[in-house]
Amino acid sequence: MSAQKHALPQVKYIIGFLVSMAMLLSVSSYPGAEVTIDKVEFAGWSNCYKMSNGTIDLIAVADVGPRILWFGFTGGENEFHVSDSTKGKTGGLSWVAYGGHRLWVAPESRLRTYFPDNFPVSVDTRHNILHLTAPVESRPDVDGSTGVQKEMVVAMDDTGSSVTVTHRITNQNVWDIELALWALTFMKAGGKLIVPNPSYGPHPENLLPVRTISVWKYTEMGDSQFDWGNRYIVLSQDRTRTRPNKFGVANIEGWAAYQNGDRLFVKYHEHIDGATYPDLGCSLEAFTNNEIVEFETLGPMIELAPGETGVHVERWKLFDGVGETDDEESINREVKARVLGAE
């Protein structure tokens, strides 16, 4: 694959990383910042780190990962799903679905994507920034060793309900590799994922398509969980479902949200126009079953030379007091107004 094909994503990744690091330092490293990081026990793991600014809390685990297991309002409930059957589990040579938020490699494949993150990660909490670094994925006892190293860098605003999660993958092989960074979050059951459609434009002024929608062989587009609206695609999680479902889009609007009760979890991410994305052009995907919705964003396909690092940044924000969203007008009022007003 030519260097020219990857030039735009690579430049964007480098610039995006520098900008994100400057932003991380600016929000959390100055004297008097209200963010605290404390070592805690959580869900059976003894080595976890709780990040808080008094409005929101975040808990990451260091016994496996990198993984963020808890995110929510201080004194409230976890917005993420954590699997009861794997709480406190460590070790083993098979991939484990612990829940929470993780970093993967796309396109999805049995060997490369499912390398187990069952081993301890190193933790750095300087400047009130939580930096989690996994060991290199290179073990003779694990099939599909990838030779990459994964990191998450988490910065919490000193007030309010926002965090920035910078995902990094470094090629520690002695050969080039091609991949996309893939950030996945297990959302708790009972909510709905709201994905904006591109803004409307009339015919015949607008002759070309503006984005793709991808489906898998097991996708059921007629499933009652879906509402394929004019302004939004809404996926409502159903605890009674017996089969999984999935879809993906080129999310050119750069945000999507998961509403659960009166709370709204928003991810902001960059969609790079002209870049090549995995899965027929997806920068956002969602998978659901009877327990969860996986709320996923993806970076573009990039080629990493030995020692090079790819970067994918998500900005999270949590709202409360959100009203019912049973049609597109109420989504505009309760979701879009908050999401765009908080940018």
Helix, strand, coil tally for the chain in percent (to 5): 15, 40, 45
Confidence of residue 8 (pLDDT cuts 50, 70, 90): very low
The pLDDT, as a whole number, for residue 142 is 87
pLDDT for 33: 58
Confidence band (pLDDT; 50, 70, 90) for 6?
Answer: very low
Residue, of 26 and 139, whose pLDDT is higher: 139
Q: What are phi and psi of 120, to 5 degrees?
A: -60, 150
Given a contact cutoff of 8 angstroms between Cβ atoms, the answer to whether 152 and 313 are in contact is no
**Is the pLDDT confidence value at 242 over 80?**
yes
| pLDDT score of 170 more than 80 | yes
Query: Residue 251 in 3-state DSSP?
Result: coil
What is the mean predicted confidence (pLDDT) over 113-131?
96
Mean of pLDDT values over 102-131: 96
How many CB atoms are closer than 10 A to CB 28? Answer: 24
Question: Which segment of 9-13, 43-47, 200-204, 309-313 scores lowest on mean pLDDT?
Answer: 9-13
pLDDT at 274 over 60: yes
> Quick count: other Cβ atoms within 10 Å of Cβ 267?
22
Q: Mean pLDDT across the stretch 126-137?
A: 97
How far apart, in whole angstroms, are the C-alpha atoms of residue 338 and residue 99? 27
Label residue 342 by pLDDT band (50, 70, 90): confident
Percent over 90 (pLDDT), the chain = 86
Q: Give buried/exposed letters for 222-241 (b at 16+ CB in 10 A, else e).
A: eeebbeeeeebbbbbbbeeb
Q: Give the CATH number of the domain where residue 14 resides.
A: 2.70.98.10
Q: Is the dihedral of CA 65, 243, 260, 323 positive or negative?
A: positive
Q: How many domains does the chain have?
A: 1
Tell me the average pLDDT of the chain.
92
- Which domain, by its residues, includes 233? 3-341
Tokens representing 135 are 């060991």
Task: Say which residue the tokens 């052009």 belong to.
Answer: 281
8 A C-beta contact, residue 193 and residue 286: yes
The mean-pLDDT minimum among 136-140, 170-174, 186-190, 263-267 falls in: 136-140
109/340 Cα distance (integer angstroms): 35
Q: Rounded to an integer, what distance in angstroms lies between the CA atom of residue 297 and that of residue 267?
A: 9
C-alpha span between 338 and 28 (Å, rounded):
24
Question: What are the pLDDT digits (tens) for 82-100?
Answer: 999 999 999 999 999 999 9
Q: What pLDDT is recorded for position 111?
A: 87
**Are 303 and 310 spatial neighbours (Cβ–Cβ below 8 Å)?**
no
Q: Say whether pLDDT at 240 is over 60.
A: yes
As a whole number of angstroms, the longest Cα–Cα distance in the chain is: 61
Whether residue 34 has pLDDT greater than 60: yes
Residues 6+ apart with CB under 8 A from 274: 8
